[in-house]
Structure 1
Amino acid sequence: MQIHPLIEDSDALADLCARLAKSPFVAVDTEFMRENTYWPELCLIQIADANEAAAIDPMREGLDLSPLLDLLVDNEDVLKVFHAGAQDIEIVYNLTGKTPHPLFDTQIAAMALGQGEQIGYSNLVDSWLGIALDKGARFTDWARRPLDKRQIDYAIGDVTHLSTLFPKMLERLRKTGRGGWLDQEMERLADPANYENDPELSWKRIRIVGRKPEVLGRLKSLAAWREREAQNKNLPRGRIIKDETMADIAAHPPRSQADLAKVRGLSPAWAGNDIGGRLMAILGAAEPLRPDEMPPRDDKKPGLGKEGALVADLLKLLLKIRAREINVAARLLARSEELELLAAGQRTGLPMLEDWRFDQFGQDALALVEGKLAFAVLDGKLCMTRTGEA
């Protein structure tokens, strides 16, 4: 494989992308920093096909990334291969408003091949290629220039190995007939909705005790305000105000801006500065959360009840058994919330009752809740057995 020097020139990048556009797939990885910023700071892009690989310096002044971004988001003929690619995809989305498509994620593929739910890249490369990766440059400050040869070689290695690994995994998926199992998961990963940062929805990530609409309304307003402040200043959310402090203010709002000096987690300066004034204005304008916005209760799903909770537990046990039998990650077959909904009586809109998931697990799950399937111990192993009603 040809390894190019670090690409810092627009013409060289355009030439590379023109060649890669003729390939059936490209392996993609990024290096970024986000400890001190709201938006991830893109520091390096690595890309490879079966014949050549390169690292690209997006921090180089004047470098035109358009050919690369066009290849990633507009070229439907080239498959984009990632490993645990959500953060890489987020960066592309932030730059373009689009996600790479079509795409393939080797971590998700490994789930269908019985290698666990979140196998790391190093372990995957070791298990498939017998190569132990050098982790020495893992904690590089990728924003610092110049990058030395060891750092660049380390970064390019991620995509050269990925471009070798992907065809092998694809062939195994074809032989096992499991390639189609991943279509829905890949489309879910590529869904732009996953990467939208809507300030009005940011409150849903914050834990708060209680369900009073007025408290949740204040939390929603505060969280949206913080999100916009963080975006405008390009600072991490927690640098503006931490989750626990915001939840405390929503539950126990100060009566005046001067009282902000008494709030644990805030600088006393907020009692008299502009940002404190903006916070108080947001609190004053907050309205109670509408009934249709109220989050579901954390205890049990509506209608589940004690008996339903026991059925859900049995379904989770069934899921573990079935996943072990066919050597696949359990989460690929069904998720816990689906099992709880099935136990509560829902029979539509559940992925596990559709397509290949129904054949591999859903039909047994239905049989269990309908009393047509039971657990038994045979030769010291827990397994499933059909009852006389089947």
Structure 2
Amino acid sequence: MKIHPLITTSEALSDLCSRLAKADFVCVDTEFMRENTYWPELCLIQIADTNEAAAIDPLAKDIDLSPLLDLLVDNEDVLKVFHAGGQDVEIVYNLTGKTPHPIFDTQIAMMAISQSEQIGYSNLVESWLGLQIDKGARFTDWSRRPLTERQIDYAIGDVTHLAKIFPKILQRLIKTGRGAWLDIEMEKLADPDNYRNDPGAAWQRIKAAGRNPAMLGRLKALAYWREIEAQDKNLPRGRIARDETLADLASHPPRQQADLAKVRGLSAAWKDNEIGKRLIAALEGSSPLGDDELPPRTPRGAPLGKEGALVADLLKLLLKIRSREIDVAARLLARSEDLELLAAGVRQLPLLEGWRFGVFGKDALDLVEGKLAFAVVNGKLKMTHVDDAAPTAEAAE
């Protein structure tokens, strides 16, 4: 594979993208900094197909990234391969308002062919290629220039290794017949709604006890205020105010701005400065949430009464058994919270739809409905279906 020198000009980037546009797939990775900013600062982009690889410097003077972005978001003929690519996709979305498509994530794919829940890139490379990655440049400051040769080599390795691993994973998926399982998961990863920063929905990420409409209305207003402040100042949300502080303010709103000096997590200066004034204005302008905005009630009381928690535990045990039997990550089959909802009587769940129903959901439902039981066979825990046609003790008499 040909490794290009660091690309710092529009001409070199355009030539590279013209060639990559003819590839079946390209592997993509990014290096960025976001510890001190709201928006991630893109510092390096790595890309490779089976023939060539390059690192691109987005901070280079006057470089035009349009050819690369067009390749990622508009060229439907080239598959874009990432590993744990959520944050990489977010960066592309921030730059274009679109997400890469079609897309493939090797971390998600590994869940369909192994019991690995969230395999890291280093472990992926070691398991497939038998190589150990030098992690010395992992926590480097990618915004500093010039980049060292070691930094660039480390960064390009993220895509050159992936270009070798992806075909192997694809072959395994084809062999197991589980490729179709991932279609929905990959579309979820590429869904622009996942990366759209809607200040009006920011409150939903904050943990708050209860469903009081007035309290949640205040929380929504505060979260919106914080989002705008963070975006305008390009600072992390937590630098404006922590989640716990917003939840406390929503539950116990101050009567006047001077009271902000007593709020844990806020500077005493907020009692008479402009940001404190805007916070109070947000609280005063809040209104209770309508019924259609309130979070759904968590179902209470399982079908078996007080035994509901035990039923959920049995479902989780079933999940572990099935995951082991078919060598699939349990998380791909079902989430723990969905198993608890199933035990509580909810039936509109992802595990009861599509391929998940045939692989796991049907047995999970049978267990809840008393049609499935545990058994020990040759020292291993197995599941066995109860014969519905078997006569009951009363019938036998």
Same fold (TM over 0.5): yes
Which structure 1 segments of 5+ residues have no match?
none
- Paired position in structure 2 for 1:365: 364
Cα offset, 1:115, TM superposition: 4.2
Q: In the superposition, relative to structure 1, how do residues 353 and 262 fare at CA in structure 2: closer, same or farther (>3 Å)?
A: closer
> 2: CA distance between counterparts of 1:113 and 1:165?
14
Cα offset, 1:315, TM superposition: 1.6
- Aligned residue identity for 1:288: P
- Aligned residue identity for 1:369: V
- Paired position in structure 1 for 2:193: 193
> 1: CA distance between counterparts of 2:346 and 2:265?
44
Of 176-185 and 207-216, deviating more is 207-216
SS in 2 for 1:293: coil
- Retained in 2: the 8 A contact 1:109–1:169? yes
- Retained in 1: the 8 A contact 2:115–2:330? no
SS in 2 for 1:5: coil
Cα offset, 1:307, TM superposition: 3.8
> 2: CA distance between counterparts of 1:203 and 1:354?
29
Cα offset, 1:210, TM superposition: 3.7
Of 280-289 and 135-144, deviating more is 280-289
- Retained in 2: the 8 A contact 1:301–1:340? no
Pairing 1:98–2:115 present: no
Cα offset, 1:366, TM superposition: 2.4
> 2: CA distance between counterparts of 1:39 and 1:121?
24
Equivalent residues in 2 for 1:112-127, closer than 5 Å: 112-127=112-127
- Paired position in structure 2 for 1:246: 246
Pairing 1:288–2:288 present: yes
- Aligned residue identity for 1:389: D
Q: In the superposition, relative to structure 1, how do residues 274 and 5 fare at CA in structure 2: closer, same or farther (>3 Å)?
A: same
- Aligned residue identity for 2:70: D
Of 5-14 and 349-358, deviating more is 349-358
Cα offset, 1:303, TM superposition: 5.3
Cα offset, 1:291, TM superposition: 2.3
- Retained in 2: the 8 A contact 1:214–1:287? yes
| Deviation digits for residues 68-90 of structure 1 (CA, Å, limit 9, x no counterpart) | 00100111100000000000000
- Paired position in structure 1 for 2:211: 211
- Paired position in structure 2 for 1:351: 350
Which stretches of structure 1, 4 residues or longer, exceed 4 Å deviation after superposition?
A: none
| Deviation digits for residues 34-85 of structure 1 (CA, Å, limit 9, x no counterpart) | 0000000000000000000000000112111011001001111000000000
Pairing 1:374–2:369 present: no
Cα offset, 1:292, TM superposition: 2.3
- Paired position in structure 2 for 1:141: 141
Cα offset, 1:133, TM superposition: 0.3
> 2: CA distance between counterparts of 1:6 and 1:213?
54
- Paired position in structure 2 for 1:301: 299
> 1: CA distance between counterparts of 2:159 and 2:210?
47
Pairing 1:132–2:132 present: yes
- Paired position in structure 1 for 2:174: 174
Q: In the superposition, relative to structure 1, how do residues 41 and 180 fare at CA in structure 2: closer, same or farther (>3 Å)?
A: same
Which structure 2 segments of 5+ residues have no match?
390-397
> 1: CA distance between counterparts of 2:276 and 2:107?
44
SS in 2 for 1:306: coil
- Paired position in structure 1 for 2:383: 384
TM-score when normalising by structure 2: 0.94
SS in 1 for 2:306: helix
Q: In the superposition, relative to structure 1, how do residues 211 and 358 fare at CA in structure 2: closer, same or farther (>3 Å)?
A: closer
TM-score when normalising by structure 1: 0.95
- Retained in 2: the 8 A contact 1:34–1:41? yes
Cα offset, 1:302, TM superposition: 4.4
- Paired position in structure 1 for 2:392: none
Give the length in aligned residue pairs. Answer: 387
Q: In the superposition, relative to structure 1, how do residues 71 and 118 fare at CA in structure 2: closer, same or farther (>3 Å)?
A: same
Q: In the superposition, relative to structure 1, how do residues 357 and 382 fare at CA in structure 2: closer, same or farther (>3 Å)?
A: same
